């Protein structure tokens, strides 16, 4: 019936150790797949409480019409809380979901190994610890695998199947088949800090927080630009308030420390201050935003109505922003063409160009406005603009009016390198390319993980192909020149990808 019945024609017994939110969710997933499930928790009475909570959730599904009552009753008939680890002796799969402490997990698995049969597959749901280290104390480390479920486990499709340094291929294959049989979307990855999602997603948070620290814009505006221009479902400020600032910062710090303080993964000082002050987000009533009852959410900065220019001149092409030319034609804005360059110019000569990691202020043509990257300029609801100090107010209003005429809300932000969406996406692409080169996961699994695990609008590797590796590389090189700490230095994998792309031209 599943990947762990090994031809017996029945669903094998699944043991879940640790009965918090994740443990309960994993147990519910296994029950839904037809397994008998035993719950164990070291705290007396906790397993029984967890079984009651699972029963209540299944009852709510029945009330909503999402689950037949007979299926609920059958599932609960297969669910048993137990008070002794020895009661898990006949498990075919044992999944650990206890606290994120290496010593505690090692102690548990050492005890569990003396209880279960040699054929039992052992799995840790750790999100931040090394699977290799967890297995390092075991007599048979080859049968321990990482199964990283995402919260809430019954709803989130992604499961990262993490192979430690000592994990047997047969154990990894068996775990993968089991997760797939449960109706989840498994992806294979090596035991590397952050696995796939928590490694590659770091720039989504870090670059927005850095833009805030640089006074590029306020949190509400940064969130709005990433949502409405970048296509992300939530902005990083609202999302970390939902997750919990302490939880998000802990993952960031864990990956950074595991990678020997690599500057690309440096945590945010602004987020550290939030955590230190106890402003952890919704659960404490305040994080980046005020979540107390009756508190209003600040809106993003949005420019008022402005008149568009009577015409614009297109110099060369706009690269990833080429779709703007067609939108201007549809808006009946006359466009004349000049062969050289990669920008637009207003009638007074002010230049409008897609951000490339440099600032408008550093443009040798004094009057310059940068605009940010969009996932899709046709459907984007907002575009960010960053003017140099030399841009006349009338010219800035004309630039705002141009994008408003294309149906976009406009946020004017400070002139910081790479703006908001562009620096975020460039870093995501680079992290993904680097992960492939280091053997963390295959390209398809990386894009699948980011699409299903954190709901990105496009897989980072697919995004990189759409933008072109050369554009991503050059944007990061310009960011690195502006901030030469190593944070933005393009990876060797991206450099090779860009060089291969150039050879095809």
Q: What angle do CA 234, 240, 244 make, to 5 degrees?
A: 140
As given in the structure block, the two tokens for residue 96 are 């650990």
Whether 404 and 172 have beta carbons less than 8 Å apart is answered as no
User: Which token pair is 345?
Assistant: 């110019």
Name the catalytic one among 96, 128, 148, 286: 148
Assign 3-state DSSP to the chain and report helix, strand, coil percentages, each to 5.
45, 15, 40
Catalytic residue among 92, 113, 127, 315: 127
Side-chain half-sphere CA neighbours of 481 within 13 A: 11
CB 372 within 8 A of CB 382: no
In this structure, what are the phi and psi dihedrals at residue 188, rounded to the nearest 5 degrees?
-90, 140
387 near 228, Cβ under 8 Å? no
Is 254 part of the annotated catalytic residue set?
A: no
Q: How far apart are CA 466 and CA 286, in angstroms?
A: 38
Q: Which residues pair with 111 in a beta bridge?
A: none
DSSP annotation string for 451-494: HHHS--SS-HHHHHHHH-HHHHHHHHHHHHHHSTTTTSPPPHHH
Catalytic member of 160, 228, 238, 433: 160
CA 441-158-131 angle, 5° bins: 55
**Cβ proximity of 473 and 494 under 8 Å:** yes
- Please say whether the beta carbons of 374 and 227 come within 8 A: no
- The 10 Å CB-count burial string (b at 16+, else e) for 220-253 is bbbbbbbbbbbbbebbbbbbbbebbbbbbbbbbb
Helix (H, G, I), strand (E, B) or coil at 42: coil
Angstrom CA distances, 166 to 45, 133, 146, 239, stand at: 35, 10, 12, 36
Phi then psi dihedrals of residue 149, to 5 deg: -80, 155
Cβ contacts of residue 430 below 8 Å, gap of 6+? Answer: 472, 476, 490, 491, 494
Catalytic residue among 192, 198, 353, 388: 198
Separation of alpha carbons 244 and 221, rounded Å: 20
Residue 79 parent element (H or E): strand 79-82
| Catalytic site includes residue 160 | yes
Q: Catalytic: 480?
A: no
Residue 109 contacts residue 87 (beta carbons within 8 Å): no
Q: Can 388 be counted among the known catalytic residues? A: no
- Chain centroid offset of residue 340 CA: 38
For the annotated catalytic residues, the residue numbers are 127, 148, 160, 198
């Amino acid at each position: 019936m599943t990947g762990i019945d090994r031809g017996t024609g029945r669903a094998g017994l699944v043991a879940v150790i640790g009965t918090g939110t994740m443990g309960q969710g994993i147990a519910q997933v296994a029950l839904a797949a037809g397994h008998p499930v035993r719950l164990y928790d070291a705290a007396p009475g906790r397993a029984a409480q967890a079984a009651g909570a699972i029963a209540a959730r299944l009852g709510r599904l029945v009330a909503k019409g999402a689950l037949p009552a007979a299926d609920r009753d059958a599932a609960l008939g297969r669910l048993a809380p137990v008070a002794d680890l020895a009661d898990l002796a006949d498990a075919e799969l044992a999944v650990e979901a206890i606290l994120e402490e290496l010593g505690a997990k090692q102690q548990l698995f050492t005890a569990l190994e003396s209880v279960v049969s040699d054929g039992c597959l052992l799995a840790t749901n750790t999100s931040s610890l090394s699977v290799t280290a967890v297995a390092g104390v075991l007599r048979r480390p080859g049968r321990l695998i990482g199964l990283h479920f995402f919260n809430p486990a019954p709803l989130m499709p992604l499961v990262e199947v993490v192979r430690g340094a000592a994990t047997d291929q047969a154990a990894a294959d068996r775990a993968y088949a089991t997760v797939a049989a449960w109706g989840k979307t498994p992806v294979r990855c090596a035991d590397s800090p952050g696995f796939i999602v928590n490694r590659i997603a770091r720039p989504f948070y870090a670059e927005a927080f850095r833009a805030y620290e640089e006074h590029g814009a306020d949190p509400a505006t940064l969130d709005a630009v990433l949502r409405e221009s970048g296509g992300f479902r939530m902005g990083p400020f609202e999302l970390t308030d939902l997750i919990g600032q302490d939880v998000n910062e802990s993952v960031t710090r864990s990956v950074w420390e595991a990678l020997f303080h690599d500057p690309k993964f440096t945590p945010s000082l602004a987020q550290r201050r939030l955590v230190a002050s106890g402003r952890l987000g919704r659960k404490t009533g305040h994080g980046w935003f005020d979540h107390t009852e009756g508190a209003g959410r600040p809106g993003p900065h949005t420019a008022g109505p402005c008149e568009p220019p009577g015409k614009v001149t297109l110099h060369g092409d706009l690269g990833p922003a080429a779709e703007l030319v067609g939108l201007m034609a549809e808006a009946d804005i006359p466009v004349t063409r000049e062969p050289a360059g990669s920008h637009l110019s207003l009638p007074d000569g002010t230049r409008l160009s897609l951000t490339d990691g440099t600032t408008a202020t550093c443009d040798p043509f004094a009057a310059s406005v940068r605009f940010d990257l969009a996932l899709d300029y046709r459907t984007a609801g907002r575009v960010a603009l960053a003017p140099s100090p030399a841009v006349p107010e009338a010219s800035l209003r004309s630039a705002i009016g141009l994008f408003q005429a294309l149906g976009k809300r406009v946020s004017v932000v400070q002139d910081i390198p790479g703006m908001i969406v562009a620096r975020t996406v460039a870093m995501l692409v680079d992290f993904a390319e680097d992960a492939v080169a280091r053997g963390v996961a295959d390209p398809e699994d990386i894009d699948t993980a980011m699409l299903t695990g954190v709901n990105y609008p496009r897989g980072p590797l697919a995004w990189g192909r759409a933008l072109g590796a050369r554009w991503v590389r050059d944007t990061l090189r310009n960011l690195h020149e502006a901030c030469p700490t190593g944070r933005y230095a393009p990876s060797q994998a991206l450099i090779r990808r860009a060089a291969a792309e150039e050879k095809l031209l």
